[in-house]
Structure 1
Amino acid sequence: PETREQEPNDPFRPAEVRWPVIINGRIDRPGDADVFQFRGRQGQELVAEVRARRLQSPLDSALRLFGPDGALLAYSDDHDDPEAGLETHHADSYLRTTLPAEGTYRIQIEDVQRQGGPECAYRLRLSPPQPDFALRLTPSSLNARPGGNVPVTFHVVRRDGFTNRVLLRLEDAPPGFVFNNGRPAVIPPDKTQAKLTLRFPRQPLRRPLSLRFVGEARVQGRLIRHEAVPADDLMQAFIYRHLVPAQELLATTIGRPSLRGLAQRAVNLLRRAKPSRPTPK
């Protein structure tokens, strides 16, 4: 369920909410802080996630979670999100924790720089973990000689504690393409990358082809399936890397057939050749 923040909701008069919930709010003036309180039980897992900068809000959020005794349990400022693309400042907050006791908890959201205004909107999710994943594939365009191989890197974004393996496949593969030498392609549990290969057809492509890769995984007994988004791995300021998404994954052939392709064609020709008759003595 979703709700809008209701005033008052400051540190002295927190607003009561029932979770799971998504709160749509706003830090509407400098120095403002919104506080929400909710009931929790010992052992419950809580995820608190802010979406603001990723929704083009200028808010640079910070989250503080306080326990029933008023002690600070968790704090989050910036959280790295590989899905953010060209967003160079990962300013949205995220925390995941296990509640230590039964009682009333408070969560506070504010701007780290104590800024605020009508444009500083946010979405705050309070929920149990919702394990899931997203896939990125680099690079966003593949070029090879006919019959050649190209490396392809798959990046899995693990959400809310998702740790299972991800099975990869080339969906509706055009004739002649071979993924991972025909073997099962997997991103192992707890890994975030897998470097695999794609073999091109032996015949040159007449035009660029659009390819689709998908990933499947079991999450809490359900089969979840996501398409891999083509992207390019770019660097910012010689430190930070960004997976910048593209519209589609295009494959093209360039140049002459590879040595592998020529060798295979020679073998095929030899197999089709008729055996010569023995020379009479």
Structure 2
Amino acid sequence: MSWRAIIALCLGGSLLHAEKPKLEALFPAGGQAGSSFLMTATGRVEADARLWTSAPGVHLVPTGKKREWQVTLEANAPRGLHLIHSANAEGASEPRWFSIGGLPETAEAEPNDEVAKPQVIEKLPLCINGRLDKGGDIDGYAVKLEAGQTLVTAVEAYALGSGVDMLAHVLDEQGVRLHTASDSRNLDPVLSFKAPKAGRYIVQVAGFAHPPVADVRFTGSASVVYRLNLSASAVVTQVFPQAVTLSGKSEVELIGYNLDPKKTKHSFEPKDIRREGDLALVTPVGAILPIQVFVSEKTATVEKEPNNTKEQATPIQAGAAVGGRIADKADVDRFAITMKKGDKLQARVWAKRLGIAFDALLKIEGPDGKLITSSDDESEQRPDPQAVWTAAADGVHVIAVEDLFHRGGDDKSYVLAVTTPVSEVDVSLPDAKPLLIEAGKTVSVKAIVKPAKGSKDAYILRVSNLPAGVSADAVEVPEKGGEVELKLQAATNAPPANQPLRIELWTKAAPFTSKPAKGALRGESQRGTSLLDESDEVWLTVK
């Protein structure tokens, strides 16, 4: 949607005792690129409220009916998760997630709670937009499978902001449970089921409240929306190595289900890659959801098995990005790098951040074979390990990667990046909730700055994309960083406005560089990772 669409948020007149919107859910919470459909909102979203998104190729037009919009998605609208805001003259709601997919879509048809009366799905692949609308709700969908055919199910619910920890089951026609899945990269289940014989099978979804509550019954409400992606065709879930370069072709192997073994080799051109912060997204044919990949300056390589011992270790150099896979519970991947005394390197594993269910343990061993350091993860936001070390002697150092819980499989892949230590300044928003400012008054927004270790760079914080009549002086960041407060001042004649702004950290001296401050979207309820867990947009309403 064009930035000009923001003008549509400012309405003439007002309602008595108007309140800012409280957007609790969207239904459907997504759609197929190239389609147009009606969407409704749940929550306190009155006639004076409008919806807005920064996603290109997404058009949201009110129909005139209460809490209803006509959504049009252009064919090239970017696949994946996006944010939608609701705002009126009194302020803005916290955003909700909206998913753009590539499968044909339909809506859930109630009643479908009973095993004997599921909603019949005539054709796959399909994305079903559903809602667990009451406590104890279970939704069932019947599909026909041939013997040996693999059904892939990917649920989007937690990723959409629904307060639910979902379960997915496959049952036979008699109601016997054959398969169950719960968490994947987050609380949303991904399930693959190979039909033992031809027939009708039932996919059921239900879930418990998240965050957990004392009542352990299946949860449900108007805001518990989901998208159930079903396919019995070729489905791509990963690529190997899960790393690309923007300087040329990136050759990968497609990983997934129902794939033709002769057609798993694939190459990405730079135009196929959508950069998203420090990662990127690719969507090969067959991918239900976009796949997150690491971006490397050089073409990524892959490990050479066997490499379980120091003598077999795969040779690498600083600046390398290499893809690896833990094949079984006994597998340990080792990489050899020659260092001189005093050299300093950083090794970092990328797996969970890429949506791969691999809990990596990273170890650094010296030329004498002794352990120098080890790591299993950094934090909830950075759940993969990294290690920095200085060579105490000349010789070959070994970087070892293994599964923390000694598990293995084709899906236990990762990317190992080895560089000279990169210690970047970090800037974040402790509270990214929407702001409201009245004409003639001020409002504050805070950012937390953590300078790079040993850095002498000086920084200032600035606000960009301010509306007319609103100003904010740049603020110098203390040498040690910490919490920095910016004050926004609205002129007495500042016109009403509704739009996002950004907080940016700039270097004070050339070469001038900037970095946007990002705020966590899921807060303390975050479990695992998704395609969109933080944002650099802060919504501002001027009244």
TM bin, normalised by shorter chain, reads 0.7 to 0.9
Deviation readout 1:56-82 (Å, 9 max, x if unpaired): 01111111101111111111111126x
Larger radius of gyration: 1
Residues 29-54 of structure 1: per-residue CA shift (max 9 Å, x gap): 22321001110011111111111000
For the residue of structure 1 that corresponds to 2:492, the secondary structure is: coil
Code of the residue aligned with 1:194 in structure 2: it is V
Please give the alpha-carbon distance, in whole angstroms, between the structure 2 residues aligned to 1:66 and 1:47.
13
C-alpha distance 118-46 of structure 1, shift in aligned 2 (>3 A): same
| 1:217–1:97 distance in 2 versus 1, CA, 3 Å | farther
2:354 pairs, out of 41, 51, 55, with: 55
Does 1:250 find its partner at 2:539? Answer: yes
2:376 is aligned with what amino acid? Answer: D
Cα distance change, pair 161–146 in 1 and its aligned pair in 2 (3 A): same
Aligned match for 1:227, one of 516, 522, 529: 516
| CA deviation after TM superposition for structure 1 residue 142, in Å | 0.9
**CA distance in structure 1 between the aligned counterparts of 2:315 and 2:396, rounded to whole angstroms:** 10
Partner of 1:99: 391
- The structure 2 residue matched to 1:119, chosen from 386, 394, 411, is 411
CA apart distance, 1:122:
0.8
**Structure 1 counterpart of 2:367, from 50, 68, 75:** 68
Q: CA deviation at 1:106?
A: 0.4
CA 23–160 in structure 1, closer or farther in 2 if over 3 Å, else same: farther
- Superposition map of 1:1-281 within 5 A: 1=298, 2-11=300-309, 13-80=312-379, 84=381, 90-137=382-429, 138-156=431-449, 164-179=457-472, 182=473, 184-203=474-493, 205-217=495-507, 222-232=511-521, 234-236=523-525, 244-246=533-535, 248-254=537-543
Please state whether the residue corresponding to 1:208 is helix, strand or coil: strand
Tell me the SS of whatever aligns to 2:524: strand
Structure 1, residues 225-270: CA drift from partner, whole Å, max 9, x if none? 2233354582249xxxxx952373221135xxxxxxxxxxxxxxxx
Q: How many positions carry a matched residue from both structures?
A: 238
Task: Give the superposed CA RMSD.
Answer: 2.8
Q: Deviations over 1:143-179 (max 9, x none)?
A: 1222222221213466686564431112253332232
Secondary structure in structure 2 of the residue aligned to 1:129: coil
- The question of whether the paired residues in 1 share the 8 Å contact of 2:315 and 2:336 is answered with yes
Kindly indicate whether the alpha-carbon contact (under 8 Å) linking 1:79 and 1:94 is maintained by their aligned counterparts in 2: yes
Measure the CA separation in 1 of the matches of 2:536 and 2:461.
20
1:109–1:189 CA distance, 2 compared to 1 (3 A): farther
Deviation at 1:10, TM superposition (A): 0.9
* TM-score (normalised: structure 1): 0.74
Secondary structure of 2:512 counterpart:
strand
| 1:172-214 Cα distance to aligned partner (Å, 9 max, x none) | 53332232xx3x4133234243233222333464331222332
Identity %: 26
Secondary structure of the corresponding residue to residue 37 of structure 1: strand
Change (3 A) 1:175 1:206: closer
> When the two structures are superposed, what TM-score results if normalisation uses the length of structure 2?
0.40
Contact persistence 2:315–2:337 (CA under 8 A)? yes
Question: SS of the residue aligned with 1:132?
Answer: coil
**Corresponding residue of 1:275:** none
Query: Which amino acid is the alignment partner of residue 118 of structure 1?
Result: D
> Which residue type is aligned with residue 354 of structure 2?
L
User: Counterparts of 1:56 and 1:211 in 2: how far apart (Å)?
Assistant: 29
Aligned 8 A contact 2:468 2:495 in 1: no
Amino acid of the structure 2 residue aligned with 1:6 = K
Describe the shift of the 1:123–1:52 C-alpha distance in structure 2 as closer, same or farther (beyond 3 A): same
- Any conservation in 2 of the 1:168–1:213 contact (CA below 8 Å)? yes
Which has the larger helix fraction? Answer: 1
Moved more, 114-123 or 138-147: 138-147
Range that drifts further, 164-173 or 67-76: 164-173
State the one-letter code of the partner of 1:144. I
